[in-house]
Copies of this chain bind each other. A is one copy, B any other.
Amino acid sequence: MADKFSVTPYDVTGSVDYNRLVEKFGITPIDEALEKRIKKIAGEVHFLIRRKIFFAHRDMNWLLDQYEKGNKFYIYTGIAPSGGMTIGHLVPFLMTQWLQEKFGAEVYIQIPDEEKFLTKKDPKLTLEKIHELAYADALNIMALGFDPKKTKIFFNTEYSGKLYKQAVRVSKHITFSIVKDAFGFTPETNVGALFYTSMQAVPAFMRSVDLGKNVPCLIPLAVDQDVHFRVARNAIEKLGYYKPAIMHAKFLPGLKGGPKMSASDPDNTVYLDDSPEIIKKKINKAITGQQPTAELQKELGGNPEKCSVCMYYKYLFEPDDKKLAKIFDAERDGTMLAGEHKAALTETINSFLESHRKAKEKIRPHLEDYMLRD
């Protein structure tokens, strides 16, 4: 039977079945043993792992073997600008930041400011417009508090002097047939989009090129990006480098309950630069798992798993498992009504965004220090 959902870097539709995705993509669930192993080394385990938001991986045990042998890994992640950065985008970056702290890892952040230009038809998405968005994304990311000495960030069009030559080496091992099958491309797809995955592959072995020796790499990403590395891992291995390890995150649900909070769907999305008033309006309209009336909710209770408010606490805003359980319980047993629930989340998000804005202003004069350019 055909799946009723689809997950590619260029489209996520339907109700995503993550168990099915594990099979389809050939990835491995993050099980209790791996969680324990991470905890043993790191001293604790991040709630994004405990809560199975990072739910799957490739080669994590190999990566930790290397780490325990003294062969430290670096981390590579990124974001392709197409609209403002959303709270959904924070998930891989928060994981990256925690991993950097616990494992002392160098971090490379790629902002491919050509990808959406090549893959979207929107005529407003010019390279110039995307470059503006890329700069705003860089600021949002660095405001999260990465180690300034161990973090580098770059835009593809400004770092292609470094990237292109290595992308050429990757691209020799990737055919049209491969990208057609992997990404759903057609003969009418432009050749820039066909080539692009080679550019996304480069940072996964770039540190090995720079240091002249093989360095393990870990890529925390949203699971739709896995396909790039399914393709690239084979090519990277053929070039003689370690295949990168990967950790896969689920998508933060949209305000209206869609499978993914997407930067290109404003009504479904909380942007990092939404004003307090906009946040209030958006959260008020968000779907919850509650009953249609206060009376019914008190009587029958609600379903936190279908409640976007509960999900935002789970994914981002309530790191404490006990407190999260209380929020879920209150939704489930009907003691918390939608209005109260939403007001609390609105306050939480606005408080987070207020701190975030301040952090951005603090980092702004220093952003250039993190940038790699040709």
Q: Which of B160, B163, B191 is close to A194, meaning CB atoms less than 8 Å apart?
A: B191
A129 to B371, CA, bound (A): 32
Known A-B contacts A117-B172, A164-B157, A169-B127; A192 and B188 likewise in contact (beta carbons under 8 Å): no
Contact at A192–B176, with CB atoms within 8 Å?
no
Q: Which of B160, B171, B180, B185 is close to A165, meaning CB atoms less than 8 Å apart?
A: B160
Contact at B192–A168, with CB atoms within 8 Å?
yes
Q: Is A179 an interface residue (CB 8 A)?
A: yes
* Contact bitstring A137-181, B, C-beta under 8 A = 1, else 0: 000000000000000000011111111110111111111110110
Collect the chain B residues with CB atoms within 8 Å of residue A158's CB: 161
A254 to B340, CA, bound (A): 85
Looking across the interface, which residue of chain B has its beta carbon closest to that of A126?
B169
Looking across the interface, which residue of chain B has its beta carbon closest to that of A180?
B187
Whole-angstrom distance between the Cβ of A169 and the nearest chain B Cβ: 7
Contact at A171–B190, with CB atoms within 8 Å?
yes
Contact at A171–B188, with CB atoms within 8 Å?
no
A374 to B172, CA, bound (A): 23
Collect the chain B residues with CB atoms within 8 Å of residue A174's CB: 190-192
Q: What range describes how many residues of A lie at the interface?
A: 35 or more
* Contact bitstring A359-374, B, C-beta under 8 A = 1, else 0: 0000000000000001
Looking across the interface, which residue of chain B has its beta carbon closest to that of A159?
B161
Whole-angstrom distance between the Cβ of A351 and the nearest chain B Cβ: 40
Known A-B contacts A161-B160, A176-B194, A194-B176; A114 and B168 likewise in contact (beta carbons under 8 Å): yes
Looking across the interface, which residue of chain B has its beta carbon closest to that of A158?
B161
Whole-angstrom distance between the Cβ of A64 and the nearest chain B Cβ: 33
A83 to B88, CA, bound (A): 52
Q: Is A100 an interface residue (CB 8 A)?
A: no
Contact at A171–B187, with CB atoms within 8 Å?
no
Contact at A160–B169, with CB atoms within 8 Å?
no
Whole-angstrom distance between the Cβ of A113 and the nearest chain B Cβ: 9
For A118, A176, A189, which residue has the most chain B Cβ atoms within 10 angstroms? A176
Collect the chain B residues with CB atoms within 8 Å of residue A165's CB: 114, 127, 157, 160
Contact at B175–A189, with CB atoms within 8 Å?
yes
Could you give 19 example pairs across A and B, Cβ below 8 Å? A114-B165, A118-B168, A157-B165, A161-B161, A161-B374, A167-B192, A171-B190, A171-B192, A171-B195, A172-B192, A175-B187, A175-B189, A176-B186, A176-B187, A176-B191, A177-B188, A191-B198, A195-B195, A374-B374
Q: Which residues in A have some Cβ–Cβ distance to B below 8 Å?
A: 114, 117-118, 127, 156-165, 167-177, 179-180, 185-195, 197-198, 374
A160-B161, A160-B163, A170-B192 provided; 4 other pairs, C-beta below 8 A? A167-B192, A191-B194, A191-B197, A192-B195
Interchain residue pairs A-B with the least CB separation, the first 7: A161-B161, A171-B192, A161-B374, A160-B164, A195-B195, A157-B165, A374-B374
